[in-house]
Structure 1
Amino acid sequence: MKKNIQTAFNTRQYMLAKDFEIYYYNDQNLAKVNLHTHDYYEFYFFLEGDVSIQIGDKEYPVQFGDIMLIPPHRPHRPIIHNMKTPYRRFVFWISEEYCNHLLHISPDYVFLMQYVQVNKSYIFHNDQISFNAVQSKVLRLIEEMQSDRFGRNAQITLCVNDLVLYLNRMIHERNNLKSRNEESSLYQRLTDYIEDHLEEPLSLEKLAEEFYVSKYHIAHVFKDNLGLSIHQYITKKRLALCKEAILGKMSIKETYQTFGFGDYSSFYRAFKKEYGISPKDFKDMQIVKYD
């Protein structure tokens, strides 16, 4: 480890920078740290130490290669069991605002943040090879932040985004090593649930709460199985029911209200896009056909 990247430990629990901060700590005489919260995401990359991390009422033992993500406003603290071994770790802070910025670039950047919030699973164990890949990206970011080379600021942004995306990809791909049967089961349960609740408000957030998985994971599983987004699928299913209802002589107003369309204008646009004809013209055409 390069000595010049080490930072003296500071009890400060707020960010000085707007978007992110990163530190390498190596402590042998660390005072007790009380439970605390902060308004940003905090990554720990553990290197060494006889340490556990308390989050809420639960204590998590950690070892070399463990990565922990603590969401905003979640009480936590390190618990030092033995200071004979140095407590060494990287700490990476990233603001909610910057995460929202990344979200607008691609939801892939924040899969991990959403996963942790939904599943309350904060710690990820890694073998040495996997952790070394992460560590090299962390070191590259720290070294770039300490440099004065041309393009420094642009390169720092690239390093941060690369690190965040790499962590998201690593955890997402690890989760997706589960059997296709399990994914197919989730997909089938999703379609069954949607089928039974088409008349109710449906959203990724609602489905994530119902099935206790990340909304981004749901979106990926659904797109992989059907090639459509959940929103597209729900809209098509609702339109098919609306078409059948109109054929069954239900009024247009009752139809779109019954099957989950909030107002006529959104129903009109979706119906015409799907079938190439307005709901009224379709209804009139059926009246002429059967008169």
Structure 2
Amino acid sequence: MRFGVINIDGAYVSAFNVLQEMSRDDIEVYHYNDSATYHVPPHQHDFYELYCLLNGPFTFHVENNRYALKPGSLLLVQPGEVHWPELEQPPRDIERIVLWLNPQFISSLSIFLPQTLGTFGENLQKEQLIIPEEKTYQVILGLLYSLLYEKNRADADSPYLCHLILSQLLVYLGRAMNEREMPPERLGARYREIMLVHEYINAHFKEELTVNDLAEHFYMDKNTLTRQFKRIIGMTPGDYIRRKRLETAHALIRQGYSVLNAGYSSGFSDYSAFYRAFCHLYGQAPSTFSSQTRKNRTAAYRNGK
């Protein structure tokens, strides 16, 4: 399915907001088209962030989840969730619309949108990715461009119109989130099955786990599992298990674990396999990364004195 992008001559493209902090107490919206996002380290906000990718694909991390974003998908990051874009070499320009929502302002709309706003809480604790139907996505995209238009116009009526547009946007986002609960035949016969596999890997990737184990556990043909998992998640089950282990090892090394302990604690039983995979993904040996991390910690400690 191909998702179009409304063409308004690249309107309202702004410089990247390096501070990543809200200056308003309601909403802020940005249209970026650059590679600046690659320089953003893992971070968190005290506000909601809606990420709408306009070209792609592009990989984004939220807490322990990794999302392969494409045009037509949306990512909603909750306040306090650690998130970051995945570094690629060489960096490339990424066009995206980013919407920031102040939680207190969103709560103030509960009188008008009680059912919709209920979505922005417990229902999002396990899932940040939103994949609307094409028509719903086009409406959402149009509303985001309307917010950009009002931001650019900035007359006396613009704040009120922005709030009205946002109210519509929240309704459509709520609908899109509810679409995730549709019967499997609406999302593809294998969708729910693959998402169960995805959740199982997230819970068991540190254990001895192979594609054959997954196929046997879920009573699926190995080739079908691999093909459908790659179609929905963006990589094969084996690649996803390896990536989860590497990301965990990377995080443990940053926390001060030794390279050996980080590798084994993340599910690697063979150090040479861990070494090769780490070098391939991160472009440096785990020992080099560990040494750099220790130096950075020492420098930060000295600077803090």
Tell me the TM-score normalized by structure 2. 0.53
Q: Is 1:68–2:75 an aligned residue pair?
A: yes
Mapping for residues 178-217 of structure 1, pairs under 5 Å: none
Counterpart of 1:255? none
Structure of higher CA gyration radius: 1
Q: Deviations over 1:10-62 (max 9, x none)?
A: 22122100011011111135443211011001110111134211112332111
- Judged with a 3 Å threshold, the aligned counterparts in structure 2 of structure 1 residues 26 and 32 are, in CA distance, closer, same or farther, namely same
Correspondence list, 1:80-229, <5 A: 80-81=87-88, 85-118=92-125, 120-148=126-154, 151-177=157-183
Contact 1:50 1:85 in 2 (8 A): no
3-state DSSP of counterpart to 2:97: strand
**Contact 2:132–2:177 (CA under 8 A) maintained in structure 1:** no
> Please, which runs of 5 or more residues in structure 2 have no aligned partner?
1-7, 186-305
- Aligned mates of 1:132, 1:80 — CA distance in 2: 29
Alignment match of 2:34 (pick from 27, 30, 53): 27
Q: Residue in 2 aligned with 1:182?
A: none
Aligned to 2:32, the other structure's residue is in SS state strand
1:169-216 deviations in Å (ceiling 9; x for gaps): 23224525579xxxxxxxxxxxxxxxxxxxxxxxxxxxxxxxxxxxxx
Alignment: residue pair count: 178
Distance 1:127 1:85 in 2: 28
Q: Contact conserved, 1:21 with 1:94, CA < 8 A, in 2?
A: yes
Please identify, of 88-97 and 170-179, the stretch whose mean Cα deviation from structure 2 is larger: 170-179
**CA distance in structure 1 between the partners assigned to 2:134 and 2:88 by the alignment:** 23
8 A contact 2:38–2:86 mirrored in 1: no
Instruction: Quote the Cα distance in structure 2 between the aligned partners of 1:150 and 1:35.
Output: 37
The corresponding residue for 1:196 is: none
The equivalent residue for 1:77 is 84
State the AA in 2 paired with 1:88: E
Structure 2: distance between partners of 1:33 and 1:96: 23
In 2, Cα distance between equivalents of 1:101 and 1:17: 15
**Using a 3 Å threshold, how does the CA distance of structure 1 residues 105 and 10 change in structure 2: closer, same or farther?**
same
Normalising by the residue count of structure 1, what TM-score does the alignment of the two structures yield?
0.55
Opposite residue 47 of structure 1, the aligned amino acid is L
Once the two structures are TM-superposed, the CA of residue 69 in structure 1 deviates from its matched residue by 0.6
Q: Please tell me whether the aligned partners of residues 36 and 76 of structure 1 are also in contact (alpha carbons under 8 angstroms).
A: yes
Q: Which runs of 5+ in 1 are unaligned?
A: 180-291
Look up the SS of the partner of 2:98 in the other structure.
Answer: strand
Deviations 1:134-188 (A, max 9, x none): 1111101110221155632321211111111221123224525579xxxxxxxxx
